[in-house]
Amino acid sequence: MALSTADRRFLADLSSTLIPMSARAAVDVDVVANIDRMLGRANARHRSNVFRLVRWSRRISMFYGGASMPSRAAGSRLVAVQKLARAIASLCLVAFWADDRARMLIDDPRVIR
């Protein structure tokens, strides 16, 4: 079981709305590759939970501006949608900020100027 091509594209698009271009350009962190790395070490249950999260988020994103889903869905009246948006945003942000290369952005913020 692995992320589909559509899932990967969705996660990459999502990351580009969550992490400014300047930050992404300053460090060479591939969010989707890092999600793969995390899933490669996860147990089967975790993996299937993450696959489900990605699949549902991608489906629901059609109603909430596609890759802009995290910000648009935050205003939804449905708390479940807000939580889903928060969870998928958190997955992408963890995959970026858990990478040691991203520490440069906080240890030396001048790299993005």
Partner 1 sequence: MIREITDTHRGHIHSAASSPPAAIESVVWDACVVGSGPGGAVAAATLAEAGWRVMLIERGAFRPPADMNFQLLDMAMRLGRLELTRGARTTLHSGSVLGGGSVLYGAVAMRPPSFVFDEWATQSGIAMLNDVALAPYYDHVGRHMSVTRQAPRLENRANAIVREMADALGCPDGLEIAARYTAGCRGTGLCTIGCGFDLKGTMVNSFLPIALDTGNLTVLTDCEALALETSESGAGRRATAVHAGSLRIRARYFVLAAGPLPTNGVLMRSRLHRPSPAGHCVSLQPHGLIYALFDEPVTTPGEANGVPAIYNFTGMLQQRRYYWFASSLHPATLATYTAHLPADEHQRVMSRFHYMSAVTITIRDAPAKSRIGLHRDAPELDFEESCGDIDAVRRCFVDASRALLAVGARRVFLPMLQPPRVEQPDDVSTIERMPMSYDRLLLYSDHTSGGCALGARPDRGVTDAYGRVRGTENVHVADSSLFPSACGVAPSWTIMALSRMIALNLVASANSTRPLGRS
CB of 54 to partner 1, least distance (A): 14
Half-sphere exposure of 112 (CA within 13 A, CB side): 17
E strands, 6-93, are none
CB of 63 to partner 1, least distance (A): 18
Distance of CA 63 to the CA centre of its chain: 18
**Residues from 44 through 83 that contact partner 1 (CB under 8 A):** 45-46, 49-50, 70-71, 74, 79-80, 82-83
Dihedral sign, CA of 80, 68, 33, 101?
A: negative
Q: Is 102 in the site for partner 1 (CB under 8 A)?
A: yes
Q: Which of 45, 53, 44, 43 has its CA nearest to residue 84?
A: 53
CB of 52 to partner 1, least distance (A): 11
Binding residues for partner 1 (CB under 8 A): 17-20, 22-23, 34, 37-39, 41-43, 45-46, 49-50, 70-71, 74, 79-80, 82-83, 86, 89-90, 93-100, 102-103, 105-109, 112
